[in-house]
Amino acid sequence: MEQNTTLMGLVRQTFELPEQDIRTYSPLTLAYIGDAIYDLIIRTMLVEKGNSQVNKLHQRASAMVKAVAQKEIMLVIEPLLTEEERGYYKRGRNAKSYTTAKNASIGEYRVATGFEALLGFLYLTDRMERLMELVKLGVERLQELPASAMNHAKLGTKAKAGKLQTHPQAKAEAKKDTDVMEAETTAESCTAP
């Protein structure tokens, strides 16, 4: 029996799982596994940088895996995507989700879902080198940003009487993001064969 050294290959081999047709997976299923893979990569990177208190590791990881950070990564890597990769990203971004992020606009959350779907696609098709290449480029960009830029992501929310309220400007930006995404989706469906 051939030895497999990739995580995906080892999981399939160990549990005797058949290969699946990736095209049958919903974009939210791809995002589900992509979220876990991205989190594992970030945690591994942080742990390998040196021993640290767990709460500090958690804070660092949380800052890098939140929707706002994933949106920043997508701004860097989207121009580098192949047509196939862009398709999976857009499927995830345009998927109708019944959940939302606590500290992100709807537009940021949808872009993050697309990012996670892209990573899920790359992981499940055993393209870890490509996945790592894209994550590395994005993470390098995040590390270049001043901390204030990532905190700026909370522009749209403010705590008031224990509840989060959305700032009117952030609501307008989120609606604009959503309108643009829906227009792209409509245009794509009109040109589909």
Instruction: Please give the positions annotated as active site.
Output: 35
Strands (E), 86-153: none
Measuring CA to CA, how many Å separate 5 from each of 14, 22, 26, 161, 169? 12, 21, 27, 52, 49
Residues 6+ apart with CB under 8 A from 105: 156, 170, 173, 174, 177
- What span, in angstroms and rounded, lies between the C-alpha atoms of 62 and 38? 11
Structure tokens at 149: 């830029």
